[in-house]
Structure 1
Amino acid sequence: MKISVCKLCDETKELQWSHVIGKSIFKNILRKNGAHYSITTSLSEKKIFRSNDQWATYLLCKKCEELLNARYENYSLWALKNKQKGVKHQYRDNYLMISGVNQYRLIMYIISIFWRATKSDHRVFKHSITVDEIDNYLKKCILGESEIDSKVISVRVSKLACERNYYTQDILENVITNLVPRTSHEKGFSYFMIFSGYYFEILIGCLEPHQRFDLGILRKNKRILKVPYVDFLSIPEVFNYWKETKEIYENDKENLKYLLKH
């Protein structure tokens, strides 16, 4: 038990062991693997190892934790899995069409993850930072006191695919990343993350007006979402991570064989 200031409501309360990316996502990966751990690569340490770390820290009070779950997380995860009542998935040639979806709740789900990452002191989120002005604005939006302005912050979602047919959907759905920063835009900056077979981008001051209508950009007043497919290895950071992981494994294959055994 830890008594401290809740990052969302700013009240001194007993804090929960809060997951930035939902506990259910980690549990689903471990269930599919039939193990109590995941396989993790640390590029800085040149190591591949088993881990049961779910990137949780003391962050929110119980009331705020339950608010985020009820208002954003539960709905969004069911909608993305095609299990939410009234939401329907249809696979087309160039995109996944999700109809009947409340896109604003999806936007706020991803924004809430981003915000929690910026407040977390877990080492995997050390590059997830924001400024006080944006932080206070996001808190108000998460609490329902204000609405996200798409002219400032947009969220784009894509469905992971593998053009080489090397990685199955089951494998892609088991991939999870932390928030990865990007500063190479002509203006603004962004972060991306991957989980549950989707590629999410948080775009802050990056988009021109016409780009806010592109495929995959979430729009709060629309009920039909067209999610473009993205080749898993076409994402530069993912390709480099996969390449370096393979090199680490090949250089120490005999000692790392145990990773493949349950």
Structure 2
Amino acid sequence: MKGLCKLCGNNRPLQNSHIIPRSFYKFIKSHSGQLVRVQEHKEFSHLSNSDPKEFLLCYECEQFLSCEYEISCNNILIDKQKILKSERYNDTFELKGYDYTTYYLFFISILWRAAVSEKYGARGFACLNKFLINSVKNKTIFTMQGDRLDNHVKLLLIKLKDTNEQISQTSLQEIIVDLRIEEPIAEDSDDDATVIYMVLQGFVIAYIIHDPKHPFNHIRFRKRVGILQQSGTTLIPTVDFRELRSIFKAINLIHQRPLKTRAHRIKNKITHNFKSKE
């Protein structure tokens, strides 16, 4: 398929690009073989071998994102040498020894892909493109206006757990919750931030986006716990997934949607045929 590349703007053959990098889907398939896809508007979940993709980038730009961001960050959430249980704080992990700009831009590049895709553009993500593209394209923390992107978009990491031990840590790592906009914590909340989040490999990755007119000190995460730090060390809180309303709803949805297997489809077909003859 030929079209305008979303990154360089040239009219070239387009690659069928992942929004969420392929490595995260590959991680699940290496454990389970196939994906189980659950959608809110469908009664059943179903097995799938395909990862969600769109025609977004030319070959050169696809390789650019892969080489500059993905290769060095693919294992960021499962690297046991970089993510260690904290000896200083309870229910906390420490992410250490990372290059801040590389890690930050890796996750920004995922948000940017969503912003230029048809699927997420319809959800209100499209307006983010103009704020993110310069950083992704030029590997810089600075926007086209010259200010720091991380003054306006903070990256929050939370490690999920199940205190009741009904869901194993391995099972939590095999859940991907697609990018979505967080529901307000309370109707009367005066927090001016927009929060977009996803779940990958047992972690919540949240983008906390502020209106440039407002300083970051209005944010509800005032202690900075979980916010990716420039220092190269970030404290990551461990939270029961039931405490996060949207995450609980998403994981609960998985248990509410029975898997529609081939046998189930055959049974439905036979039932339908009998009803047709009546």
Contact 2:160 2:172 in 1 (8 A): yes
Q: Deviations for 1:164-191, whole angstroms, at most 9, x for unmatched residues?
A: 1122221111000111112526213111
Contact 1:104 1:218 in 2 (8 A): no
Contact 2:116 2:126 in 1 (8 A): no
> Map of 1:1-262 to 2, 5 A cutoff?
2-33=1-32, 35=33, 37-82=34-79, 88-92=82-86, 93-122=90-119, 126-127=122-123, 129-131=125-127, 134-144=128-138, 147=142, 148-182=148-182, 184=184, 186-205=191-210, 207-208=216-217, 211=221, 214-219=224-229, 221-249=230-258, 255=264
Counterparts of 1:190 and 1:135 in 2: how far apart (Å)?
16
**Compared CA separation, residues 192 and 48, structure 1 to 2 (3 A):** same
Counterparts of 2:57 and 2:171 in 1: how far apart (Å)?
32
**Compared CA separation, residues 247 and 170, structure 1 to 2 (3 A):** closer
User: For 1:230, what is the secondary structure of its paired residue?
Assistant: strand
Contact 1:175 1:197 in 2 (8 A): yes
Query: Under a length normalisation based on structure 1, what TM-score does the superposition of the two structures give?
Result: 0.83
Contact 1:7 1:60 in 2 (8 A): yes
Counterparts of 1:126 and 1:32 in 2: how far apart (Å)?
33
**Compared CA separation, residues 214 and 26, structure 1 to 2 (3 A):** same
Give the letter aligned to residue 83 of structure 2: H
Q: How far off is 1:150 after superposition?
A: 2.5
Q: How far off is 1:16 after superposition?
A: 1.1
Query: Under a length normalisation based on structure 2, what TM-score does the superposition of the two structures give?
Result: 0.79
Counterparts of 2:162 and 2:83 in 1: how far apart (Å)?
19
Structure 1 stretches lacking a partner, 5+ long: none
Q: Give the CA RMSD over aligned residues.
A: 2.7
**Compared CA separation, residues 245 and 98, structure 1 to 2 (3 A):** closer
**Compared CA separation, residues 14 and 157, structure 1 to 2 (3 A):** same
Give the letter aligned to residue 116 of structure 1: R
Q: Structure 1 segments of 4 or more deviating over 6 A?
A: none
Give the letter aligned to residue 15 of structure 1: L
Contact 1:183 1:189 in 2 (8 A): no
**Compared CA separation, residues 81 and 247, structure 1 to 2 (3 A):** closer
Q: How far off is 1:215 after superposition?
A: 1.0
**Compared CA separation, residues 137 and 188, structure 1 to 2 (3 A):** same
Rg larger in structure: 2
Structure 2 stretches lacking a partner, 5+ long: 143-147, 268-278
User: For 1:191, what is the secondary structure of its paired residue?
Assistant: strand
Contact 1:115 1:138 in 2 (8 A): yes
**Compared CA separation, residues 236 and 183, structure 1 to 2 (3 A):** closer
User: For 1:166, what is the secondary structure of its paired residue?
Assistant: coil
* Greater Cα offset, 3-12 or 145-154: 145-154
Q: How far off is 1:116 after superposition?
A: 0.4
Counterparts of 2:121 and 2:24 in 1: how far apart (Å)?
17
Q: Deviations for 1:126-178, whole angstroms, at most 9, x for unmatched residues?
A: 425132xx422210011225524322111101112111112222111100011
Contact 1:125 1:179 in 2 (8 A): no
Q: How far off is 1:59 after superposition?
A: 0.7
Give the letter aligned to residue 208 of structure 2: L
Q: How far off is 1:232 after superposition?
A: 2.2
Contact 2:183 2:246 in 1 (8 A): no
Contact 1:154 1:212 in 2 (8 A): no
* Greater Cα offset, 182-191 or 57-66: 182-191
